[in-house]
Each structure stands twice: as structure tokens, then as C-alpha cells.
Chain A
Amino acid sequence: GQNIDQPTEMTATEGAIVQINCTYQTSGFNGLFWYQQHAGEAPTFLSYNVLDGLEEKGRFSSFLSRSKGYSYLLLKELQMKDSASYLCAVRGNDMRFGAGTRLTVKP
């Protein structure tokens, strides 16, 4: 089975950096994914890690440690539009999601 844990809510200030953590337990591993979801919309794909280390994509970076079952999503230079839920997902034989972290960016 799979367990995926991430904080329920986080708050940060515009222009700052925020790190959203995700820990997971899975019987098989074929990649860890981060998605962004605005209220009332479908999730949109942000990043993908299959090997240990940091993947950078503009203002967003994602880190993976397979031995620790740990990942984080780093958002830099926060903007108001980054207020959304961020979902951690693990692909084993299928793809399972965490409950999401609701990020609020304040001016």
C-alpha cells in the first residue's frame, strides 16, 4: 500500500521562499510528482523526480530522497497567484496522491 503525508496548510509572504514537504511509504516506486491545484480546477503537473536530487524548473524546484521516502517542493519569489493547493503524488504500480497542502500567499 501507499501512505503519503504532507502538511495541511502553509502561509508565506509574497516574494519569499516556501518549502512544502512530503513523506511517503510505497511498495513500489516509479517516480514522485508535484501538482498545483487552484480551487475548482483540475490539478496541473509541476515536476517529476525519479532519481535522488534536485530538479529545478524556473521558480519551482523539487527534491527527492528515495532512501528516506522524502520529497520537497520549493517555491521561490512567491507571487499571489501561487496561492493554491500543492499535491504530492507517488507512482508505484498506480498513482496515489496526498491530501494536498493549501498554500496562502499574503502581501
Chain B
Amino acid sequence: DTGVSQDPRHKITKRGQNVTFRCDPISEHNRLYWYRQTLGQGPEFLTYFQNEAQLEKSRLLSDRFSAERPKGSFSTLEIQRTEQGDSAMYLCASSPATGGGAFFGQGTRLTVV
């Protein structure tokens, strides 16, 4: 396990379609974070998990967004009925439960046309 991996790296979808992204964290990391980033901005927090428990979800996250981490390992982020404003880089990061920094995957770039 060399790091956090995300799949796919790029996704182009039509407005109104559903998309799902996958993140595989560093295996010994308990925490997993999802962020969204647009050009010129810092990563915007979406949600995070400790093991399989989703501990916090941003109020910015509409009901169209849902994330799961069913076995406390990989996680999925689903966006339903995509809108053009959802176009962004979706970043996943993982960290130990206590101490230490979060390490990022390469991200999934979503383009909604």
C-alpha cells in the first residue's frame, strides 16, 4: 500500500446523471476525509469517517451527496442528479485517528456538461 488511491481520475458526465467515486485510504489509517476543491481555492471539507462511522458532514453538502465507508476501509462518494456547479476536483485523504497529517489521493476531477 503506497498511498491513498482514488478512482476514477477523471469523470465527465451529463447534467442530471449520478456519479460515484471511490477512495482507498492508507490501510492503517482510521480516518478518511472527502474534500471538494475548485480553481484557486483551498480544499473545502465535505465529510469524514472514523472507521465506518461518518462523524461529520458539512452543511454545504446537499442531500444529493452521500458518502459511505461500509467496512471501515474504502469509501465511496455519490453525487445524484449532478449539476454544473458540482464540477470540481474531489479529493480524498486519510490519517491516523490521533496525531499526524492527512495524506491525499490524486483526486477525481469531475466535469458536468
Contact = CB atoms under 8 A, between A and B. Distances in A.
Interface in A78-104: 87, 89, 91, 93-100, 102
A35 B33 CA distance: 15
Contacts of A48: 100-101
B89 to A, nearest CB: 8
A53 interface: no
A55 to B, nearest CB: 12
B99 interface: yes
Given A43-B43, A87-B43, A100-B41, A95 B99 contact: no
B56 A99 contact: no
A31 B97 CA distance: 12
B85 interface: no
Nearest to A100: B42
Nearest to A4: B42
Contacts of B56: 93-94
Interface string A1-37: 0000000000000000000000000000011010100
B45 A94 contact: yes
A50 interface: yes
Given A94-B45, A95-B93, A96-B45, 20 more contacts: A30-B99, A41-B106, A42-B91, A42-B105, A42-B106, A42-B107, A43-B91, A45-B103, A48-B100, A93-B55, A94-B55, A95-B33, A95-B48, A97-B42, A97-B43, A97-B44, A97-B45, A98-B42, A99-B41, A99-B42
Interface of A: 30-31, 33, 35, 41-45, 48, 50, 87, 89, 91, 93-100, 102
